[in-house]
Amino acid sequence: MKLLLLVAAAFLLGSVPTGLIIAKLRGIDLRASGSGNIGATNVLRTAGKLPGLLTLAGDMLKGTAAAWLAVYCGLDIAGQGMVCLSAVLGHDFSCFLNFRGGKGVATSLGVLSIYSPQTCLLTVIIWVITALVTRFSSLGALVAFGLLPVSMYFLDSRDKLLFAFFVTMLIMIKHRDNISRLLKGTESKIGMTS
């Protein structure tokens, strides 16, 4: 029962549309602006650096809070993974947005910061380096999270590999439009207003 309650709470927490709320405070309807996505990259493009940074922090905090709650309540590794995954699913398929949502990058990093800190650090490093070199934030996320199961295997417990595979799968699914644009050469680069 405790696990089910925590999974439900994590989903609700993850569902809070941080970017949508922050952009709305600036008078911007995020779903009708830029890429239409509620994540930090679109907030950065449409509302500016500070709102983008606040969205990134808020989306990460949702994941961090859910993961911390799972640890605080004494769940085992598998239970923690389920709660963490639920927070990411909440962000990706928000119950407040008719089960539509963001792409889960920041929230995934948030849960990893507690669930597997060393893997989180390597994922951030790979993401940042790839994004800076290519100027594609989406490619940075795809490369970093594509390597997540490998990073988890070498830096943490094999008991967490299933979680890593699920997160990687979600990231790839939510970035399918970005993958298509990258292949066509039409993906917006960092700094472009799209």
Handedness of CA 111, 113, 114, 119 (dihedral sign): positive
pLDDT at 191 over 80: no
Burial of 172 (0-12, 13-18, 19+ CB in 10 A): middle
33 vs 106, more confident: 106
Specify the DSSP class assigned to residue 161: H
Across the chain, mean pLDDT equals 93
Its sign, for the CA torsion 176, 102, 137, 69, is: negative
Choice among 44-48, 95-99, 134-138 with the minimum mean pLDDT: 44-48
| Model confidence pLDDT, tens digit, residues 104-115 | 999 999 999 999
Helices (H) and strands (E) in the chain, counts: 11, 0
- Counting every residue written for the chain, the total comes to 194
Residue 192 has pLDDT above 70, yes or no: no
Nearest to 18 by CA among 47, 32, 37, 39: 39
Q: Mind listing the pLDDT tens digit for each residue in 34-82?
A: 777 888 888 988 888 999 999 999 999 999 999 999 999 999 999 999 9
The pTM for the full model equals 0.93
- Structure confidence at residue 31 (pLDDT): 80
Q: Which amino acid is at 112?
A: L
Residues 6+ positions from 169 with CB-CB distance below 8 Å: none
Give percent above pLDDT 70 in the chain. 98
